Amino acid sequence: MDIFLGALAWLADPAHWTGADGIPTRLIEHLTVSGLSLLVAALVALPLGLYIGHTGRGALLAVNVANVGRAVPSYAVLVMILPISLRFFPQTGGLDFIPTFGAMTLLAIPPIVINAYAGLREVDRDLIEAAKGMGMRDLQLLRKVEVPLALPVVLGGLRTASVQVIATATLGAIVALGGLGRYIIDGIARREYDRMVAGVILVAALAIAVELLFVVFQRVIVSPGLRRARAGADRPGDRALSMPGGDPGGLAG
């Protein structure tokens, strides 16, 4: 309790809200690396997930690789990228932005791929056949039927990836990057536990805020009827998980 109260006092100190080590500066640094990582991951993972969801080609391989990627610890990914960063960016000593950006991008790809794939494979096949009967081509079918119906699941993948990236971007402080993780790592190193706990509170608050923003965004962009249908489909036992051994939408086919 004393540590928690000390962390609240640390957060309330005006001195910690200004300067290069101030909370606004660290917050911007944290959001920058997290946002860029999520953007690049989405540019890679969304087309891949939509492609395998629409065509079914390479689904088993892609989903299994993505699931393996989700099981790898964040710290292990960061450590694996360090030698590559040292090799190609020796001027930075392999530290700072590159290894953290690479690790966060790789961590964000699996949930986006899996949800994009699962969302499309869960679209009612009768609707797809009806759209084909109306003369829709593949791109029209994807744009006008499959993606709109799969949108709640696709956004769920982006939400999961964003919260995961924000929570684990704190590891960037280990390789000399800024961000809110600096308070945690520096607090441990200096035995300033009020600083450390304050950093944990800030990261948790940011992750919760982003989660809530995605919830609001999903409510705005997804039609109420589709939200109700998705809520019914998501009841326990109604939906197969896109995991090895499960067969959502004909994965084995």
Distance CA 40, CA 36 (A): 6
Reported residue count of the chain is 253
Residue pair 114/46 in contact by the 8 Å Cβ criterion: no
Neighbouring CB atoms inside 10 A of 250's CB total 10
Distance CA 168, CA 151 (A): 26
Distance CA 177, CA 168 (A): 13
Neighbouring CB atoms inside 10 A of 81's CB total 21
pLDDT reported for residue 247: 44
Residues of the chain with pLDDT under 50: 94, 234-253
- Residue 238 dihedral angles phi and psi, to the nearest 5°: -90, -10
45 token code pair: 């993972």
Nearest CA among 162, 163, 164, 182 for reference residue 172: 182
CA angle 74, 78, 83 (to 5 degrees): 155
140 token code pair: 């029209």
pLDDT reported for residue 37: 94
Distance CA 49, CA 117 (A): 5
pLDDT reported for residue 86: 72
pLDDT reported for residue 213: 94
Residue pair 194/7 in contact by the 8 Å Cβ criterion: yes
pLDDT reported for residue 133: 81
pLDDT reported for residue 249: 40
**Any idea which residue has 């003369």 for tokens?**
135
Just give the CATH number of 2-13+25-233: 1.10.3720.10
